[in-house]
Structure 1
Amino acid sequence: MATRSGGRLLTVAAAVAVLAAACGSRLGDEELRAAAGPSGAPAADGTAPTEGAEATIGSLPVPCGPGAQPPGPPPADTPGVSADAIEIAVISDRAGQVKVPTASIEESMAAFVEWCNGLGGINGRALELTRIDSKLFSHLEATMEACDAGVFAIVGSGSVTDNQGAQEMVDCGLVEVPAYTATPAKALSDRLVAPLPNPADRYNVGFARWIAQEHPDAIDRAAILHPAIDTASIQADRMREAYEAEGFTFVVDRETGAIAESYAAEALAMQRADVRWVTMVSATSEVVKLLRDMETQSFSPEVLDLGPQFYDAELAAEPAAEGALVQVSTVPFEEAADSPALATYLDAYRAAAGADAPEPTALGVTAFSAGLLFATAAQALGDDLTRDGLLEQLHAIRAWDGGGLHAPSDPGGRAAPTCIAYLEVHDGGFRRVHPPEPASFDCDPTYAVDLEGDVGGGATEGGG
């Protein structure tokens, strides 16, 4: 019999992989080397960021540099800011007993700090990074640690139980620029601006519309599987509501265990219901089990449609996954040669990461984008560095793609995503399906729709 702590770890192992926001890939070293070329190579356009106001990372002016003149005195009452430094923190779930696909966000923030400081910091002030482990279940304690440390802001963060510390972050006056948010309580919080917002009360139906156009006969016989845990259930409920409004009919809708020995029963149920479109909100390892059971029963639906968390070498290596579609919101690593910003991220990551560091992930990319977003807002403040001023500058940024790291977004307006891209598992790797141009996204403002389901509210000032 499993112990209570063991069962808890199994549950979170699945929860970590079904975050409601952007989720990470885990491509292997060989795929990454092939995508981006040798370490230290120039950016894809043949240039590399250099010091000075004219430097760029992709299409974005580099927000890091010595400034036009030496830093002046900061406001006396601003926590985490001195004459020569800006203190920030990153909170994340570190890899341990549970395989954590989001582990590289901490390393990506460390890479950003090293890269930014190498260019002169922010207006001449060096970034100092405090790393805090939220340990899967301890996000409140981690947030309290950041508050007590007196850092200026939390940047590039991400924790699967981020609802725990959402109110504490707001109450202690911090500003957060996360890599991702996992729960509505965090995603809808005051004092938080994300590079790729994913508000829980809206949904991107662009993927559903593309499937309906390309596979019109499949959407009448759809199936969704997800484990009976809150994070997955919320995501499944949101998807179901949005997709049904786009004409999907779910003939199979089943909760599963967080981790199962077999999905033979689910495969059989879908086969008997003549399911033609399948999605699963779970961990990659669980989808691989499902695919093998489907193959054993000779059940092959027209479409297997998977979320961004499945942009993962483990899925690509599974023969039964051939032809599966995978949604992405960041530029795929395979296309680093077409994205100077992504090439810069990979070079910075390699330069800063130790031998034992996890492989770069798509969530690592959004963490780096969070660093750039924070630095862009902080640079604009000059010496007048205050938390409220930072939040005001962040809210003023209404168009953002991290210089070409990911799909265009509206961080300051906390707008729902309106862009899509599909990859396909092919010959043990991934290849682009839609749109066909490398490093591109299909964007349409009508893709963002309101949801009627009650997902709860975010942490608010004065709401504790």
Structure 2
Amino acid sequence: MSQAHEAAQRGRVAHRGGGARLLLALVGLMLVAAGCGAKGDSVAETGGGSDGGTQVATGGDSGGQADGEADFGTLKAPCGPGEGKIEKSEAGSKGTDKLYIGVNSDKGADIRPGLLREFWDSSNAYIDWCNAQGGIAGLQIEPVDLDGQLFNVAQYLPAACNDVFAMVGGGSTFDNLQLQGPGNLKECGQLDMPGFTVTKEKAEATDTYIAAVPNPANVRPAAFFDYLAQEYPKEVGDLASVYGDLDTIRFVMDQTNAVLTKLGKPFGLGQEIAYAAQGQDFKLTSQSLKGSGATMGTFIGEPSNFGLLLSSMKEDGLKIPMFAESNNYDPLLLEKGSNPAGEVLIRLPHAPFEEADKYPAIQKFEELMAARKAEDPQTKTAALGIQSMSAWLLFTEAATACAEQGDHIISHDCIREQVGKIGEWTGGGLHSTTNPGTNEPAKCIISMKVDGDKFVRAFPEWGSKDATEDGYYCPKKNAVVTIDVD
């Protein structure tokens, strides 16, 4: 048995009987697949939950705002007056007087209160702002809370299928449960435009959702690796993978390694080093990484664990560069992982909060979240909220286009058709370019790095030949790679 697996086994034995703690770790690690990062709040933050089931929240009052206030980044006044009408057969039991929209999350989970609360908060922040300008094509929006409480997704499916026109801007940790049992989303044909997809089952069920920021299982973003090959051509030749010892996380590692294998030289896959999902001694993990002789490493797991590993690597004098996905763009990483021995790089598909002054859409996002926080102090601002708000903007653009047609009818089929016509999408500048209509992920990236106790841009440098006008790196080839997944 390798030292890495011995360490993982010790972690499991030490916490045998600690089922709730292990489950918490499992939940956090599952969200790695969705690339969830945070700003001032972490994914594990304790926030206000709900009692489960469904409830209706009151949106903002109708009113008016100055023209500049009505814009969202590059999108000119997405909300406002109009003649929109809801397709009666799809409106849901709550009626056609408003757009009743379901927003799912797990914020009422007993073992992790506030889980994915950012979906509910960012949705309400957007709705407050949109309603104040007249709504979507003149229709006010009424959010309906669909709280799956982690494992109780089935309890909100009747409301999701029967009470609302669509689901927008939400997400469930175990979103595969949306597709199981009688009356599931696939059976009822509900329109779902989620803030993310997590499980392989959901990601592959492309006929059941439209994602503003797609995360397909078999088409993976690869721009970050093009950057690594340029900047670290020797180091990437022996690349160790440090991953949480769970099937879900192994799948993420396998996806990454499949991309690297397809890209070929200069990438070379090195040792795979597992760690226990709960209770791991990362000194042992660091020693395993050092003993492997790897010249670079990738970490797949939660930011708090990555911070512990970086701290142990610093104690061991291990200075190899490490990289991770966007879920590690989180203050939790810096609590233990600040001032690392070697470079720590993180792939971002969206604009960083630290550079909000350069991205009007991020400024608008923060403005709307601040307004919401003034109403509800427990409001959670996180990177997943960016994806949620992008989903709302995409829904708004498509629904408005439907309402501007001759019959003014907003229907599921029309929204799907309009999303296909929109093509490339950035959420007004919230994130790099995707294509929701063809389910293509982001082709451009920004690499952040840990600098002392903060995140700063590593690549591309603003104004350089590598940077687009909006500060992203977009390689001419291999921006995305198609892989085989089991």
Asked if 2 retains the 8 angstrom alpha-carbon contact of 1:201 and 1:450, the reply is: yes
SS in 2 for 1:412: helix
Partner of residue 313 from structure 1, selected from 311, 331, 337: 331
Asked if 2 retains the 8 angstrom alpha-carbon contact of 1:16 and 1:100, the reply is: no
1:420 and 2:420 aligned: no
- The count of aligned residue pairs is 429
SS in 2 for 1:396: helix
Name the structure 2 match of 1:226.
243
Could you tell me which runs of 5 or more consecutive residues in structure 2 were left unpaired when the two chains were aligned.
1-14, 43-63, 464-469
1:123 and 2:125 aligned: no
1:447 and 2:474 aligned: no
Name the structure 1 match of 2:399.
378
Q: Shift in Å at residue 396 of structure 1?
A: 2.4
Counterpart CA distance in 1 for 2:350 and 2:110 is 26
Asked if 2 retains the 8 angstrom alpha-carbon contact of 1:179 and 1:366, the reply is: yes
Structure 1's 17 and 78: CA in aligned 2 closer, same or farther, altered over 3 A? closer
1:362 and 2:393 aligned: no
Once the two structures are superposed, the pairs formed by residues 45-194 of structure 1 within 5 Å of their partners are 50=65, 55-67=70-82, 71=84, 74-80=86-92, 82-94=95-107, 97-98=111-112, 102-148=116-162, 150-166=163-179, 168-189=184-205, 190-194=207-211
Structure 1's 184 and 380: CA in aligned 2 closer, same or farther, altered over 3 A? same
Letter of the 1:291 counterpart? L
Letter of the 1:84 counterpart? D
Name the structure 2 match of 1:295.
314
Name the structure 1 match of 2:48.
none
Q: Taking every aligned residue pair, what percent have the same amino acid on both sides? A: 28
Asked if 2 retains the 8 angstrom alpha-carbon contact of 1:225 and 1:254, the reply is: yes
Counterpart CA distance in 2 for 1:169 and 1:306 is 33
Counterpart CA distance in 2 for 1:137 and 1:64 is 35
Counterpart CA distance in 2 for 1:436 and 1:28 is 27
Asked if 2 retains the 8 angstrom alpha-carbon contact of 1:194 and 1:411, the reply is: yes
Structure 1's 295 and 380: CA in aligned 2 closer, same or farther, altered over 3 A? same
Asked if 1 retains the 8 angstrom alpha-carbon contact of 2:350 and 2:445, the reply is: no
Q: Going by fraction, where is helix more abundant, 1 or 2? A: 2
Name the structure 2 match of 1:41.
none
Q: Shift in Å at residue 297 of structure 1?
A: 1.8
Of 50-59 and 240-249, the range deviating more from structure 2: 50-59
Counterpart CA distance in 2 for 1:100 and 1:389 is 34
SS in 2 for 1:216: coil
After superposition, give the CA deviation of every residue in 1:357-414 in whole Å (9 maximum; x if it has no partner). Answer: 2541111111011110111111111131222222222232211101111111111111
Q: Shift in Å at residue 314 of structure 1?
A: 2.0
Counterpart CA distance in 2 for 1:161 and 1:182 is 7
Partner of residue 341 from structure 1, selected from 361, 365, 371: 361
Q: Shift in Å at residue 447 of structure 1?
A: 1.3
Letter of the 2:131 counterpart? N
Once the two structures are superposed, the pairs formed by residues 163-312 of structure 1 within 5 Å of their partners are 163-166=176-179, 168-189=184-205, 190-246=207-263, 247=265, 248-301=267-320, 303-312=321-330
Q: Shift in Å at residue 8 of structure 1?
A: 4.9
Counterpart CA distance in 1 for 2:228 and 2:257 is 14
Counterpart CA distance in 2 for 1:128 and 1:215 is 50
SS in 1 for 2:437: coil
Counterpart CA distance in 2 for 1:76 and 1:355 is 34
Asked if 1 retains the 8 angstrom alpha-carbon contact of 2:192 and 2:209, the reply is: yes
1:430 and 2:449 aligned: no
Structure 1's 430 and 78: CA in aligned 2 closer, same or farther, altered over 3 A? same
Asked if 1 retains the 8 angstrom alpha-carbon contact of 2:36 and 2:327, the reply is: yes
SS in 2 for 1:164: helix
Structure 1's 230 and 393: CA in aligned 2 closer, same or farther, altered over 3 A? farther
Asked if 2 retains the 8 angstrom alpha-carbon contact of 1:83 and 1:125, the reply is: no
After superposition, give the CA deviation of every residue in 1:109-160 in whole Å (9 maximum; x if it has no partner). Answer: 1111111101100111100001122222233433344124x21111111222
Structure 1's 132 and 101: CA in aligned 2 closer, same or farther, altered over 3 A? closer
After superposition, give the CA deviation of every residue in 1:205-257 in whole Å (9 maximum; x if it has no partner). Answer: 21112111111111122111212323212111100111123332222102221
Letter of the 2:98 counterpart? A
Of 74-83 and 410-419, the range deviating more from structure 2: 74-83
After superposition, give the CA deviation of every residue in 1:71-125 in whole Å (9 maximum; x if it has no partner). Answer: 5x54332223845310001111227643877431210011111111011001111
Structure 1's 53 and 309: CA in aligned 2 closer, same or farther, altered over 3 A? closer
Of 289-298 and 170-179, the range deviating more from structure 2: 289-298
SS in 2 for 1:442: coil
Letter of the 1:412 counterpart? G
TM-score normalized by structure 2? 0.82
SS in 2 for 1:87: strand
Counterpart CA distance in 2 for 1:250 and 1:386 is 48
Asked if 2 retains the 8 angstrom alpha-carbon contact of 1:53 and 1:65, the reply is: no
Q: Shift in Å at residue 7 of structure 1?
A: 4.7
Asked if 1 retains the 8 angstrom alpha-carbon contact of 2:103 and 2:144, the reply is: yes
Asked if 1 retains the 8 angstrom alpha-carbon contact of 2:349 and 2:432, the reply is: yes
Of 380-389 and 5-14, the range deviating more from structure 2: 5-14
SS in 2 for 1:436: coil
Letter of the 2:99 counterpart? I
Counterpart CA distance in 2 for 1:293 and 1:54 is 48
Could you tell me which runs of 5 or more consecutive residues in structure 1 were left unpaired when the two chains were aligned.
30-48, 455-464
Counterpart CA distance in 2 for 1:235 and 1:282 is 10
Structure 1's 392 and 54: CA in aligned 2 closer, same or farther, altered over 3 A? farther
Asked if 2 retains the 8 angstrom alpha-carbon contact of 1:86 and 1:152, the reply is: yes
After superposition, give the CA deviation of every residue in 1:314-337 in whole Å (9 maximum; x if it has no partner). Answer: 223433436311111111111111
Of 445-454 and 374-383, the range deviating more from structure 2: 445-454
Of 105-114 and 246-255, the range deviating more from structure 2: 246-255
Q: Tell which has more relative contact order, 1 or 2 (C-alpha 8 A, sep 6+).
A: 1
